[in-house]
Amino acid sequence: MGRSQRQKGKRGERLAAQAVTAALGVNARRGVQYKGGADSADIEVAIPGIHWEVKFVEREAVRSWMKQAREECDGMVPVVLHKRSREEWLVTVSMERLYEFVIRMAAAVSETVQALGGEPLPSELPLAVLPPGAEEAAGDARNVPVRRGERKRSDSRGRKRGGGCDA
């Protein structure tokens, strides 16, 4: 890896830490500069149990990045925070660990709100935000049903219509 690539990676990690701090209101900083190990997280965030892998590149390889994060996470929730130049940050979490990620994020946000003098957030996810029929599975993330989108329709020429976010 060349010098400019390493510098771009460091710049991406600093930008990622700033973006996480701005979005969540929790402290974040480059991880490697403080721990120095190859397996340490790219950024250290004041949310325990989450391993943050940062990628600041033009060519996306999300699956290989997630594989790297899984190999380095040591039991924590592997998260890939990635960005192309002049585009927004995206967060990738595997579906199997999504519930744990959300719970850890909610706990951190609740602590921040309390530190600022606000009311604590509820410790459990309200059933109103779960998909219909998930009441009996609310305690077990593996049993929460995933709603599938409507089937996309095609016109007479085979062009797809509907089923998108704006439909």
Q: What is the pLDDT of residues 56-89, one digit of tens each?
A: 999 999 999 999 999 999 999 999 999 998 999 9
What the chain holds in terms of domains, given with CATH numbers, is 3-94 (3.40.1350.10), 98-132 (no CATH)
- 44-57 burial code (b ≥16 CB/10 A, e <16): bbebeebbbbbbbe
Inter-residue contact 149 to 167 (CB < 8 Å): no
User: Strands 50-56, 77-83: parallel, antiparallel or unpaired by DSSP?
Assistant: parallel
Give the per-residue pLDDT at 93. 96
Q: What is the pLDDT of residues 100-153, one digit of tens each?
A: 999 888 888 777 777 777 776 665 655 555 555 544 544 554 454 545 444 555
What pTM, to 2 d.p., does this model score?
0.65
Give the per-residue pLDDT at 79. 96
CA–CA separation, 163 and 156 (whole Å): 17
Residue 9 has pLDDT above 70, yes or no: yes
Give the per-residue pLDDT at 138. 46
More confident residue, 14 or 119: 14
Give me the helices (H) in 53-94, please. Answer: 62-72
Residue 166 binned pLDDT confidence (cut-offs 50, 70, 90): very low
- For the beta carbon of residue 67, count every other beta carbon within 10 angstroms: 13
Give the per-residue pLDDT at 144. 46
Q: What is the pLDDT of residues 36-53, one digit of tens each?
A: 555 678 898 988 899 999
